[in-house]
Amino acid sequence: MTLTTRNLSLPGLRSRREAGKMLAVATAIGLIVALTLDLVTGRWVGAPWLHLAFWVLCVVAWLPFARRVKYLQYGPLYVLGLFVYTILRSFADKTGIAPRAEYVIDIEEKIFFGHVPTAWLQQHLFQPANIGVLDWLTVQVHWSYFFLPHLVGLLIWLFRRELFPRYLFMVMGTFYMGLVLYFLLPTVPPWLAADYGTLPGVSRVMDYVGHQVDPATYQRFYDALGVPNAVAAMPSLHMGVTFAVYLFMRDLYRRLSWALLVYSVMMGFSLVYLGEHYTVDVLVGMVCAVLVHRTSILWQRRSQTRTAAIPSGD
């Protein structure tokens, strides 16, 4: 009688477990969506620390529930990490360290035989009175940064969740390494250096393209995603994160990685041509991604060594 009762209860137990897992996944997606909306709408700008405290409490309270599904917790933690980074980045220009531009310009003139690549490219390719295909294409590549790395992360989290912790480490590691440099070395981007008179002949191409679409819509979009810190040029995390995604995919899906390598080259060119970053910023961003990638590999190897050293039971 006891065995029969237990057997009859098993389907109900399984269904409750499945329902619990489905609820855990649903709440995780809800947290991700809510955090993302707060981030991209810029509602946090008026009270950043209040928003941060609220979301940290929400995620921490949810974490025990996340144990029902393996690796589930990393999704909301990814977006929370991005949220924390965004808030801290907005304060990186308020340390009292004077923003600089001359040092990058001097380095570029030494490397490129007296030229600054942004100024040279715009002199030969940009015509403010005639916005062309190159201008539109490079702006689209630039703005794709705000979506593509996170779309890749979402797909990995949904379909290859066991790979997501490493992806989180790669992307967040690159973000936070760049953030340290933002605090230590606030750097004026080329377009702003031109406004200051330090780098004549450089325009912010993105403004020309954006105002051709709809000035009001462009400004709202920029205000939502363009964090209030205009002197976060060194390093280029547009390039760093893009290259980090390429390095991650290169280790796992070599065929797909070739497309991401081409995309990385397009991103680097776009950032320099548009006047958003110096070439040196782009290179340092890539170095940040490589350092995080090497750390990820070392960490993975040590984890595998520890696992192999644990004696298995008879």
pLDDT at 106: 94
Q: What is the mean pLDDT of the segment spanning 223-236?
A: 77
Evaluate whether 90 touches 228 at the Cβ level (below 8 Å).
Answer: yes
Q: What is the mean pLDDT of the segment spanning 209-223?
A: 70
Evaluate whether 5 touches 11 at the Cβ level (below 8 Å).
Answer: no
pLDDT in tens, 121-170: 999 999 998 999 999 999 999 999 999 999 999 999 989 999 999 999 99
Extract the tokens encoding 92: 């990186």
pLDDT at 256: 84
pLDDT at 314: 45
pLDDT surpassing 50 at residue 202: yes
pTM to 2 decimals? 0.88
Count how many residues are written for the chain.
Answer: 314
* Bridge partners (DSSP) listed for residue 100: 187
pLDDT, mean over the chain: 88
pLDDT in tens, 272-299: 999 999 999 999 999 999 999 999 998 8
Q: What is the mean pLDDT of the segment spanning 85-95?
A: 91
pLDDT in tens, 295-308: 999 887 776 676 55
